[in-house]
Amino acid sequence: MVDRDPSGRARSDSSLDAAGGYSVDMQFFWYLAWPETVRRNTLRYVTRIRAEDGTITSINVLEYAAIIITKAAATHFFTKRTARTDDPYPTVFYEADNSTAESWAVKGLSGTTLLSSFSPESRAALQHYGRFVVRELHRSSRGKQKNIEQSRQDHYVRFTALMKLPDPCMPSSPPCERNYFLACYAVSLAQGKNLRNQIIRGSTVSNYLSAACSLLDDRRLPYTCKDDYLGVILKSLKDYDEVQNRRHMICDGMMLWLDKEAKRYDVDSPFASIVDWIKLGRYGAFRKSEWCQSSQKKYARIDGWPGDPSLAFTWGDFTFFDKHKRKLDFDNITADNVYFVRIRWRKQKNNDNGQEITYARDEALPSFCPVLAALRIVKRAIRLGDEPTEPLAVARHPRSNKRIYITASLATAVIRSAAKAVYGLSDDDPELKKWSCHSIRVTAANLLHRERFSDSYIQSRLRWKSTSFLKYLRNTFYTATQHTRHLKISDSNLPPRGSAATEKPIFTNRSSTLSARLLLKNTLHTLTTGFSQIHPNCKVPHYTYLP
């Protein structure tokens, strides 16, 4: 497309009484006085005069009519008077002083192909009926839906470009690989990599996929196969959407934001205290009753136990050890000599009381180390005058400087502030309600699930007596776009590779659908860092990491 000067210029204007137009290039001018009925029914600033059917004519309409008359004169000039072989497609620049009328003209010209094969007499005869068609068309949402579909198709094309695909429709690939690629695209959409850059429901993901699949349908390229990877993903998203009162995990991007934001606060502030509990909770999968309260001044007790002790953790529930697993006194613990912390659950919801679990230091990423977070929690409680029998989750009130207990509402507010910052959510967005204190426990389950640990290991390590945690594992779809291997949970807190807890499932010759489910269940975490390579026959899936 090469810019060129217009073949001619024309100007028009209208008043409430008359209109006119001219062109020096095309050597014409015209003048038209509006009839009395037009002048009488034209809307001025405020008027009570209306036509018989109750309508009022706008000055914009008169300006639009002037543009049409000018266009008719220009068309006559180039088609009847001076048809030129050196300028077979003349262009005319029209000038008017009414932007609304100009926009109407542009929209009208964009649709001039409609009825172009009809005679002027036929178009005039259809005008009475056509205006109802046009009115309903503008009132309907089909035009908007078409634009949305095109935007989603553009988004899919951009995604394929990021994935280094030369052709978005993959014409040289077998249907199974197209199906797998679409499944990967569905995962990226669910992670928030969509037009709105936020979490979307499974039904919306399906709409994105429909727009993408229409591109393949137009070229008659099939994308269905026995191992329906796309179907498995969409079914999982649908099942997840149907879970009542579900909670989202605290994704990697939110953790990075919380860690950075906590450094802006005093070490004894509620924000810093809550972030430490979240870092420790990523390993401990704490229930809210195990660490926080419902009141800043009172704490829950274990009824019926001698002395009515605190239900939440106290000093005595945290025991620290050095590198050689020697117990450390509270007075001698430092960030340099502590390597392990053993946490005791005196009272649990599942009545497995007295359970103890040891956590190791994360030397690779100290900012997210559970042991150092536990040490800061205890040191904070000591500084604020916490008694050994009182809850550990305490902070200094920002105004009164008094010690307060961390409440579930405070923790929820901090978690939701991270969600708003990372996902760009507003305060009244209903999606925010899907983050709460319980998100800490959900996060711990998903981190182990992302590392391909078995359901039985997750159930045992995170103190679940049932498999109810499985309904939250689909949160793996919602890891943040800032996913990074540096936020993996520390290997020192996991069983050795090759143990029963980490064994990969063995694919058998059972149904291909089951094979696909096993593959996707245990490798979805790889989709955030690279796509998997599928074996060409797609019977027994294999995968390797791409750099």
CATH 1.10.443.10 intervals, the chain? 252-482
Mean pLDDT to the nearest integer, 423-451: 87
Mean pLDDT rounded to a whole number for the chain? 78
Position 27 scores a pLDDT of: 87
Q: For the chain, report the end-to-end CA distance as a whole number of angstroms.
A: 41
* CA dist., res. 197 & res. 156, Å (int): 14
* CA dist., res. 441 & res. 451, Å (int): 16
* CA dist., res. 310 & res. 412, Å (int): 22
Q: Which residue, 69, 64, 89, is CA-closest to 78?
A: 89
* CA dist., res. 161 & res. 545, Å (int): 20
For residue 410, count other CB atoms closer than 10 A to its CB. 21
328-360 confidence digits (pLDDT tens):
988 888 999 999 999 999 988 878 888 899 999
Would strands 403-405 and 394-396 be described as parallel, antiparallel, or unpaired?
antiparallel
Mean pLDDT to the nearest integer, 76-91: 72
* CA dist., res. 143 & res. 154, Å (int): 17
More confident residue, 345 or 44: 345
* CA dist., res. 104 & res. 62, Å (int): 12
Q: Return the ∠ at Cα 538 (arms to 537 and 542), rounded to 5°.
A: 110
Q: Which residue, 418, 450, 422, is CA-closest to 527?
A: 450
Mean pLDDT to the nearest integer, 516-532: 36
Asked if residue 320 lies in contact with residue 328, where contact means CB atoms within 8 angstroms, the answer is yes
28-32, 107-111, 320-324: range with lowest mean pLDDT: 107-111
Position 43 scores a pLDDT of: 61
206-215, 371-380, 412-421, 445-454: range with lowest mean pLDDT: 445-454
Residue 362 DSSP class: -
CATH classification for the domain delimited by 252-482, as one of 2.40.50.140, 1.10.1740.10, 3.10.20.600, 1.10.443.10: 1.10.443.10
Question: What token pair was written down for 138?
Answer: 């503008």
Three-state SS string across 278-347, please?
HHHHHHHCCCHHHCCECCCCCCCECCCCCCCCECCCCHHHEEEECCCCCEECHHHCCCCCCCEEEEEECC
7-16, 110-119, 151-160, 262-271: range with lowest mean pLDDT: 110-119
Residue 185 has pLDDT above 60, yes or no: yes
* CA dist., res. 142 & res. 140, Å (int): 6
* CA dist., res. 198 & res. 421, Å (int): 11
Position 521 scores a pLDDT of: 40
Helix (H) or strand (E) holding 95: strand 92-95
Residue 524 has pLDDT above 80, yes or no: no
Contacts of 359 (CB under 8 A, 6+ apart): 280, 283, 284, 340, 341, 342, 343, 370, 371, 374, 493
Residue 236 has pLDDT above 90, yes or no: no
Residue 1 has pLDDT above 50, yes or no: no
Position 304 scores a pLDDT of: 76
pLDDT grade for 104, boundaries at 50, 70 and 90? confident
Position 453 scores a pLDDT of: 79
Residue 50 has pLDDT above 80, yes or no: no
Residue 21 has pLDDT above 90, yes or no: yes
171-185, 284-298, 305-319, 495-509: range with lowest mean pLDDT: 495-509
pLDDT grade for 147, boundaries at 50, 70 and 90? confident
Helix (H) or strand (E) holding 32: strand 28-33
Position 523 scores a pLDDT of: 35
Most confident of 64-68, 303-307, 447-451, 484-488: 64-68
* CA dist., res. 136 & res. 280, Å (int): 59
Q: Return the ∠ at Cα 366 (arms to 363 and 370), rounded to 5°.
A: 95
More confident residue, 260 or 430: 260
Q: Which residue, 221, 290, 278, 281, is CA-closest to 254?
A: 278
pLDDT grade for 419, boundaries at 50, 70 and 90? very high
DSSP letters for 229-275: HHHHHHHHHHHHHTSTT------HHHHHHHHHHHTTS-TTSHHHHHH
284-318 confidence digits (pLDDT tens):
999 999 999 999 999 998 877 887 888 999 988 99
